[in-house]
Amino acid sequence: MDANIVIEGIRNEIRAHRFWYIIEGIFFLIMGTLAILLPNITAITSTFLLGALLFFGGILQISTFFRYPRRRWKDLSALLFVVAGFIIAFVPMVGFITLAILIATVLILESLFEIIFSLAFKPFPGWKWMMFSGIVTLSLAIIILIDFPDTTILFLALAVGLNMGLYGMSILLLVFGKDR
């Protein structure tokens, strides 16, 4: 496949859905700013949400037990989800440590995707910002892991907020064709 065909396809995609790319960029920019400005709320909300998702996932697994009683192994999985979800949601320090590991893992994956995507967008203005965002995000994830478990709520909120804000900015710069 010719590189020019791929580049033109990406240009057409950005032009065709420009409005939604702008909305996405603004949304992530705002959410990143809020995550940085409200670190305690960011940490508490994220921890509680993770716990609630696990808890209700376990409840859902338990509900399927009654339909398929032969699958006893699901009982253990469901029980693990319910207990882990409850502990993460309602025992803040355990939830916070779990959240730190989860956020570091997500940030590493996100940064690698951003770096790879930035190389795909290299012919476009603004690709450098996407690369910059990926490198900063990877650096923040590494700092979380190196400083673990002493990573503070403020740093986790800063890492998540910077990731979201830089991603939003890189999308907006890509759409508006700015390279500086």
Alpha-carbon distance of 140 to 173, in angstroms, equals 22
Residue 117 CA to residue 105 CA, distance in Å, equals 18
Give percent of the chain with pLDDT exceeding 90. Answer: 18
Domain ranges of the chain: 1-37+93-180, 41-90
pLDDT in tens, 160-176: 888 899 889 988 988 88
Predicted confidence (pLDDT) at residue 180 exceeds the cutoff of 60: no
